[in-house]
Structure 1
Amino acid sequence: MSTQERTSGSVTVGDQAPDFTLPTSKGDKVNLSDFQGQKSVVLYFYPKDDTPGCTAEACSFRDSYEVFQEAGAEVIGVSSDSSESHENFAKKNNLPFILASDEGGALRKSYGVPSTLGLLPGRVTYIIDKQGVVRHIFSSQFAPQKHVDEALKILKQF
Structure 2
Amino acid sequence: MKKNILIIAFVLLVTALVSFSNDTKSGFVRKASLYDTVKKKDSLQLLDSIKKSDSIRVADSIANLKTKLYKKNVEASHYSDKLNGRRTASGQVFSNKKYTAAHKTLKFGTKVKVTNLANNKSVIVTINDRGPHTRGREIDLAKRPFLDISHNNGRSLLRVSLEIVE
> Which TM-score band (shorter chain)?
under 0.3
TM-score, scaled relative to structure 2: 0.22
User: If you compute each CA radius of gyration, which structure gives the higher value, 1 or 2?
Assistant: 2
Greater length-normalized contact order (CA 8 Å, ≥ 6 residues apart): 1
**Greater helix proportion:** 1
